[in-house]
A and B are shown apart, each in its own frame.
Chain A
């Protein structure tokens, strides 16, 4: 029987790998190829790459670098950032990225979600939803790398994306990003209760127990984390880590 997936979510800024706090202050971690190689050796369940500046810099995905990654990483790979067209999607699929992650495009051009699902199947289409709480405590969907508030309700948006053919949702809490204080379980729960497709929790994981909580309490199918797998100790020294299969089996339901 399967256990829930645990997914390092890696942030790209063009050619470099970074980690943010609340979508701000990117810390440079290193060359993506080297870091990905380490994750590959650790046999991670899956990897997610998000280029956090591609959309705002009006830049296409770094196809060449991604092709370097896919030529030696043999695990499920998702990529998001700067994807605007079916041509972008076809290029990503052809180089071996099988999960296409749409965020800004899914809000601004929802027909792309349908077209991608028709072309590659729903399992290939992941919608990433960045969520921030307003001053009044209302959850709202943000796009353009957390720069633009759409005013959309994340639960409604999630349901609409499922109807458009999305096969999976990556729910990212901007407020928790990089804080390592635990996932926003309430947010994850609300979305996972409203859809039947798998929900991947993201934003805030600081220890292995947080991953288990996202699944047991939040109803997520998988848990993604950045800081937890790239930083070590209170000074946040860069050290790539990933729990062993035995540790995962022990902590996850």
Chain B
């Protein structure tokens, strides 16, 4: 069973719908007992960094999630803001992040020649794979994904970068280090391409 951490942030309905369509069993929960029994976990999220961290803290789930991610090493996938919360900190807010990834969340900055680029980076974009990974099994080379974000994750650890995306320069769009993984885009909104990635996550042996 995949458990989507329900801390009051994010579009859980779509993620559950897609996992179901991909043939995986998934529920959303904030119940510590349910979370503890999860074979895999997804940390969703949209909105502001501090709002997300505050909600996680209000739920009292952070120590448990730290335990599951770092000690029990349950496969843990962060989506969009969920990925950003896994970093040490964000230029968007003051709260420290979960610090599961040796990475920081930065604001898009463009020079004048790129002034036409809007923030948020909203729309469909492609990925450039940097390392082979089980997540990419049978992925269409033409795959594109739906992004909506004003901040991006910059990894200090090159080994954790699985794919990059170009938006006025390359940023890290897919992470994977051990049991911690993350997508900057929304797989649940990315047609069959996103479904392929989520299916691969669901079918990966823990």
Which residues of A are interface residues toward B (Cβ below 8 A)?
1-5, 40, 43, 45-46, 70-72, 74-76, 93-96, 98, 120-121, 123-124, 167-168, 196, 198, 221-222, 245
Contacts and interface: CB of A to CB of B under 8 A. Distances in A.
A74 B21 contact: yes
Interface string B111-132: 0000000101111110000000
Interface residues of B, number: 32
Nearest to B81: A121
Nearest to B16: A96
A40 B191 CA distance: 8
Given A74-B21, A123-B148, A96 B11 contact: yes
Given A74-B188, A75-B189, A121-B48, A94 B12 contact: yes
Given A75-B189, A75-B191, A123-B148, A2 B14 contact: no
14 contacts: A1-B167, A3-B123, A4-B123, A5-B122, A70-B14, A74-B188, A74-B189, A74-B190, A96-B17, A98-B46, A120-B47, A121-B46, A121-B47, A123-B120
Contacts of B17: 70-72, 74, 96
B18 interface: yes
Given A43-B191, A120-B46, A124-B46, A75 B146 contact: yes
B121 to A, nearest CB: 7
A173 B17 CA distance: 35
B176 interface: no
A123 B21 CA distance: 26
B187 to A, nearest CB: 9
Interface string B4-19: 0000000111100110
Contacts of A45: 123-124
Contact of B195 (A70, A74, A93, A124): A74
Given A70-B14, A71-B17, A93-B11, A98 B167 contact: no
B191 A123 contact: no
A95 B14 CA distance: 7
B167 A2 contact: yes
B194 interface: yes
Instruction: Identify the 3 closest CB pairs spanning chains A and B, nearest first.
Output: A121-B47, A96-B13, A96-B14
B191 A98 contact: no
Contacts of B192: 43, 74
Given A2-B123, A123-B122, A76 B146 contact: yes
Contacts of B189: 74-76, 98
A196 B146 CA distance: 21
Nearest to A76: B189
Of residues B46, B125, B192, which shows the largest number of chain A Cβ atoms within 10 Å of its Cβ? Answer: B46
Interface in B89-123: 118, 120-123
Contacts of A5: 122-124
A98 B186 CA distance: 11
Contacts of A196: 118
A198 B48 CA distance: 18
Of residues A46, A98, A168, A245, which shows the largest number of chain B Cβ atoms within 10 Å of its Cβ? Answer: A98
Nearest to B20: A71
A1 B17 CA distance: 28
Contacts of A124: 46
A40 B20 CA distance: 17
Nearest to B46: A121
B31 interface: no
Given A74-B191, A120-B47, A1 B122 contact: no
A74 B14 contact: yes
A2 B147 CA distance: 10
Interface in B155-183: 166-167
A245 B194 CA distance: 17
A147 B95 CA distance: 47
B13 A70 contact: yes
Nearest to A248: B124
B124 A2 contact: yes
Nearest to B123: A2
Interface string B184-206: 00101111101100000000000
B109 to A, nearest CB: 15
Interface in B1-58: 11-14, 17-18, 20-21, 46-48
